[in-house]
Structure 1
């Protein structure tokens, strides 16, 4: 009855291999803890920004506050471009009129 369940042994070995924790190697767990801490710091720096730089959270808050203005500016630019395109199409379809002077 001292033998562990074979299924449990397989699950434990699978989890150890997936998590990278090998009990035979001393010092492996602190190394993984340090790597995970560095990864979490990198993710936090990306989200919050470092120093004077804005992170993802900062840019999203700016976009949330200014999206109406950005949409209005893009709409105005698209309107001007569409106006030029329509004028160009109408200029091509108009017949050219020649004015001759009578003398």
Structure 2
């Protein structure tokens, strides 16, 4: 089946009906798109200071306090998102900005260092 207009869906349901007294076996269902979608995910999957995970890290929490200053590293949850990282300076605050693959959304995490 081909669609002549764009379709947006959260799922696809395929219904097959066997004729009476016959078996039906489906080996594969393939759904193709003209172009892959782009993600709007701006979350981090990990946040570390000097290679150690930030305690109680959660992708939904945007601000953290860390006892000791160090080198911050971060990984986006979506591998196609971009991460821009500014290490802490005199203000003792590191900033991590994640920009979604589609370039529309951005989210900034901060890590403030006590010492």
TM range (shorter): under 0.3
Q: Larger Cα Rg: Structure 1 or Structure 2?
A: 1
What TM-score results when the alignment is normalised by the length of structure 2?
0.17
Q: Which has the higher strand share?
A: 2
Question: Higher RCO, 1 or 2 (CA under 8 Å, sep at least 6)?
Answer: 2
Q: Which has the higher helix share?
A: 1
What TM-score results when the alignment is normalised by the length of structure 1?
0.18
